Structure 1
Amino acid sequence: MPRFAANLTMLYNEHVFLDRFAAAAQDGFKGVEYLFPYAYPKEELAERLHRYGLTQVLHNLPAGDWDAGERGIAVLPDRVGEFQDGVGRAIDYATALGCAQINCLAGKTPADVPADVVERTLVNNLSFAADAMRKVGIRLLIEPINTRDIPGFHLCTTAHAKRVMDAVGSDNLFLQYDVYHMQIMEGDLVPTIGLLIDRIAHIQIADNPGRNEPGTGEINYPFVFDAIDRLGYEGWIGCEYKPTAGTSAGLSWRPAPDRTGQ
C-alpha cells in the first residue's frame, strides 16, 4: 500500500506553517514534504518532526529568488557558484532533518544562452550535487514540471529527464515523478511509470484540471495507485495539491488503511 506524505506548502493553509506538522499528524500522515526549509532554523523543524512522529520525506535545493519568479538555478551558467553553495546548505538541513532525498528544480531556460551550454550547465551541476549527496547518503532527484504552470521551465518531460540522467551517469540521481505535471505534458501515466519505475524515487499527486485532490478531475487515481502498488514501488507519494474545501475535509480519497495512519 502506498505511503502518503503531506505537502505542507500546499496543505493545511488554514494554519501557520509550523502548526501544519501537528495537523498532518492528526490526520494520520506519517511523512511530510514542503518546498523549502530554509526560512526556519533546522533545529526548530527537527523538533516538530520528532514531536509528532513524522518523517521528513523531501525538500528542494535552494531555487533562487522565488518571490521574483525564479524556479531553480541549475540551468544558469552564471550561477554555478550559488548552486554549489546551495547544495551544501541543503545537505546541512537534510542531515539535521533526517531527510533522505533532495529535489533539484532545474529552472527556466535562460534567454540568449546557447542550448548546449544550458544543457551542459545542468548536467555538470547535477553531477556535482549527486556526488556531494552520495557522500552523506542522500539521494538527488530531478522533476519534470509542466510549462503551463511554469512557462519556460527547462525540464518538462520524462524523456528529457531520462536524457539528462543518462548524461550525468550517476547512480545517485533519480526521478521525481509528479502525476499532475506529467498528465498535462504527456499523459500515458501508468505505462510511463512502469517504464521508469527503477529510476523513480518519489511520486507526487494532484488531479487535473485544477490541481486539487484526487477524485476531483480526470485522472483515475484508484487505477494509478493500484498500478504503482503492483509495480512494487516502495517510496513515498507526496500530496501536493490545493484542497477544494480544507485539507482534512477532503481526505476521503486516501485508501482506507492510510486513513488510520497505518
Structure 2
Amino acid sequence: MMRRRNFVKSSLGLAGAATLVGSSAAANPTAKFDYHLKYAPHFGMFKNSAGNDLIDQLKFMADQGFTALEDNGMMKRPVEEQERIAKEMSRLGMEMGVFVIDKGGNGANTLAAGKQEYIDIFLDGCRRAVEVGKRVNAKWATVVPGDFERNLPIGVQTGNVIDALRRGSEILEKSGLVMVLEPLSDSPNLFLRTSDQTYEICRGVNSPSCKILFDIYHMQKNEGHIIPHIDWTWSEIDYFQIGDNPGRKEPTTGEINYKNIFKHIYDRSKKENKSFIMGMEHGNFYPGKEGEMKLIKAYQESDGFSV
C-alpha cells in the first residue's frame, strides 16, 4: 500500500528525513509514492509508459516518486540536450546521479599499465567531465581503470592506478566533481574487482574526489557478503547502484534481499547524516508498459521497510 505524508503530524521529523534521503514528497508533493531512498532510474526504463521524449520520461519518473536520474552516456549527448535535461530536472526537483567519464580507462587504455599515453587520455576525459558536470549539475562521474596489465606485478599495477587517479583527482577537486570507482564482474580481465580492493585504492589516492561506486549486483557476483562489505568500506562509498542477480534486473527478480539492504543503508545513513543516490542500473525483467509498472511495484515493495 502506498504511504502518504502526514504534514501536520510529523512535519519536523520528516523534514529531517528528506534532508537525509531526498524524500520524493519533498521534491514533488504530487508524487504517487514516497520512497525512503533516492532511487535513480535511467532513460529508456519507462519509455513504454512515457514515450521516447527524454523530458516526458523525466516527468514520468518524478510523478512516480523518483527523485534522481543517472545517465551513463551523458558526456556523449549534444550540449543542447544536456542543458535541456538539466533545466527540466531542476524544475522537477530531481538530482543528477552518475555519468561515465568518457575514455576514463578501459581495456584499450588501462591505467594499470602506467603508460603516459593512457594517462593523458584519462586526464583529458576528466577535464571534459568537469564541464559536463557543471552543465548538468552532477556531483559524481564513474571511472573504471580498465584491464590488468598482466606482465607487471599486481603491486606495481596498483601503484600505477593510484598515481593516475591522483592526477585525475587534482583536476576534479577544483570543481567538486567526484570520480566514483566501480569494481565490476563483467570480465576476469578487469583490474578492479572487489570493494576492499577499491577501498585500498581510494585510501591510497586520499582525495575527496576519489570514492567508491558500490554496485550491489557486481559485488554479489564477485564477493557476496553484501552488508558486511558495505560496512567495511562505508567511509569510502559515495554512490550505490542496484541490480538483482542473476539477470541484472529490478529487485525481487533474483536472489538478493534488497529490502534488508535498503533498510541497512537507510538506517546507517540516518544515524550518520549521510545521503546516497541509488542508481537503478539494470534492465526490466518484464516487457512493455506492464513490465514497467511491475518494476515500480518491485521498488515500492523493496522500499517498504519500517523505520
Which TM-score tier does this pair reach, normalised by the shorter chain? 0.7 to 0.9
Aligned equivalents of 2:231, 2:293: Cα separation in 1: 31
Is 2:165 aligned against 1:126?
Answer: yes
Name the counterpart of 1:55: 95
Name the counterpart of 1:11: 45
Is 2:132 aligned against 1:93?
Answer: yes
1:59-74 to structure 2, matched below 5 A, reads: 59-63=99-103, 70=107, 73-74=110-111
RMSD of aligned residue pairs (Cα, Å) = 2.6
Structure 2 residue corresponding to 1:37, chosen from 65, 74, 77: 74
Greater helix fraction, Structure 1 or Structure 2: 2
Give the alignment's TM-score, normalised by structure 1. 0.86
Aligned equivalents of 1:234, 1:55: Cα separation in 2: 12
Please tell me whether the aligned partners of residues 105 and 145 of structure 2 are also in contact (alpha carbons under 8 angstroms): no
Structure 2 residue corresponding to 1:155, chosen from 186, 189, 192: 192
Report the alpha carbon displacement of residue 172 of structure 1 after superposing the two structures with TM. Answer: 2.8
Choose 111-120 or 219-228, whichever is displaced more: 111-120
Please tell me whether the aligned partners of residues 49 and 55 of structure 1 are also in contact (alpha carbons under 8 angstroms): no
Name the counterpart of 1:235: 276
1:107-146 to structure 2, matched below 5 A, reads: 107-146=146-185
CA gap of 1:42–1:117, structure 2 versus 1, over 3 A, is farther
Determine which structure has more spread, i.e. the larger CA radius of gyration: 2
- Answer 1 or 2: higher relative contact order, Cα 8 Å, separation at least 6: 1
CA gap of 1:112–1:247, structure 2 versus 1, over 3 A, is farther
SS of match in other structure, 1:99: coil
Give the alignment's TM-score, normalised by structure 2. 0.74
Greater strand fraction, Structure 1 or Structure 2: 1
Aligned equivalents of 1:155, 1:23: Cα separation in 2: 35
Structure 2 unmatched runs, 5+: 1-35
CA gap of 1:43–1:121, structure 2 versus 1, over 3 A, is farther
Aligned equivalents of 1:83, 1:183: Cα separation in 2: 28
Sequence identity, in percent?
A: 24
Aligned equivalents of 1:88, 1:64: Cα separation in 2: 11
Report the alpha carbon displacement of residue 103 of structure 1 after superposing the two structures with TM. Answer: 1.6
Report the alpha carbon displacement of residue 152 of structure 1 after superposing the two structures with TM. Answer: 1.0
Aligned equivalents of 2:75, 2:40: Cα separation in 1: 20
- Figure out how many residues of one structure are paired with residues of the other and give that number: 253
Aligned equivalents of 1:163, 1:257: Cα separation in 2: 31
